[in-house]
């Protein structure tokens, strides 16, 4: 499955949950498929979607909070996995689109072909950890994690191949922040 196909499966499963996106193609794919006020797009700063998502989950314990992350982003902020596991928000689902490359900047290889990120999440203490490789598996895995107390982790293994024609997020960072804060109350 290509990264785009993973998004086509995942995005329709999202209802009214706040979603915090990692930078690069992760933001761009989600924005192109379905822009929402409750989407936070981290434009620019790599590695921070997970800590922003943790903060939102801790401040809004009555909402399920979803992070959509990339393998390079997770590797850059690996300590945040430990922070999430230690804080243990029950309402957090951390989804990682793992293409084993830094695709947004030219597909340089990351380390996730050697380091299993789902094993790192499991050993830090995430409550439920699933890994899927086929697009047909995404729906059941995501819904199962949504129904289980977190913090939960879903690794979606994909082949590189986002469409370079996918547009960029057109909102400014200020607009993204303002409407996200209003949407989550």
Nearer CB in complex with Mg ion: 22/56: 22
- The least CB distance from residue 157 to Mg ion, in Å, is 11
What does residue 179 show for φ and ψ, rounded to 5 degrees? -75, -30
- The least CB distance from residue 177 to ligand TPP, in Å, is 18
- Give the DSSP letter of residue 2: B
73 binds Mg ion (CB under 5 A): no
Nearer CB in complex with Mg ion: 99/152: 99
- Considering only 9, 17, 69, 71, the residue that binds Mg ion (CB under 5 A) is 71
Q: Look at residue 91 and give the partner it binds from Mg ion, ligand TPP, none, a contact being a CB closer than 5 to 8 Å depending on partner kind.
A: none
17 binds Mg ion (CB under 5 A): no
Q: Which residues in 5-79 belong to E strands, given as ranges?
A: 19-21, 39-41, 65-70
- Residue 65 CA to residue 57 CA, distance in Å, equals 6
Give the CB-side neighbour count of residue 95, counting CA atoms within 13 A.
29
What does residue 48 show for φ and ψ, rounded to 5 degrees? -100, -10
Q: Look at residue 26 and give the partner it binds from Mg ion, ligand TPP, none, a contact being a CB closer than 5 to 8 Å depending on partner kind.
A: ligand TPP
């Amino acid at each position: 499955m290509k990264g785009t196909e993973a998004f086509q499966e995942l995005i329709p499963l999202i209802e009214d949950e706040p979603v915090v996106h990692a930078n690069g193609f992760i933001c761009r794919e989600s924005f192109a498929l379905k822009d929402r006020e409750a989407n936070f797009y981290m434009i620019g700063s790599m590695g921070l979607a997970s800590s922003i998502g943790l903060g939102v989950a801790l401040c809004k314990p009555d909402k399920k909070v979803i992070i959509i992350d990339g393998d390079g982003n997770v590797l850059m902020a690996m300590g945040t996995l430990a922070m999430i596991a230690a804080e243990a928000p029950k309402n957090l689902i951390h989804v990682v689109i793992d293409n084993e490359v830094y695709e947004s900047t030219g597909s340089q290889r990351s380390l996730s072909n050697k380091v299993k990120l789902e094993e790192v999440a499991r050993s830090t203490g995430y409550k439920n950890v699933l890994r899927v490789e086929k697009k047909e598996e995404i729906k059941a895995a995501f819904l199962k994690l949504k129904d289980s107390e977190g913090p939960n982790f879903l690794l979606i293994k994909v082949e590189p191949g986002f469409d370079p024609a996918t547009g960029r997020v057109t909102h400014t960072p200020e607009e993204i922040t303002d409407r996200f804060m209003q949407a989550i109350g």
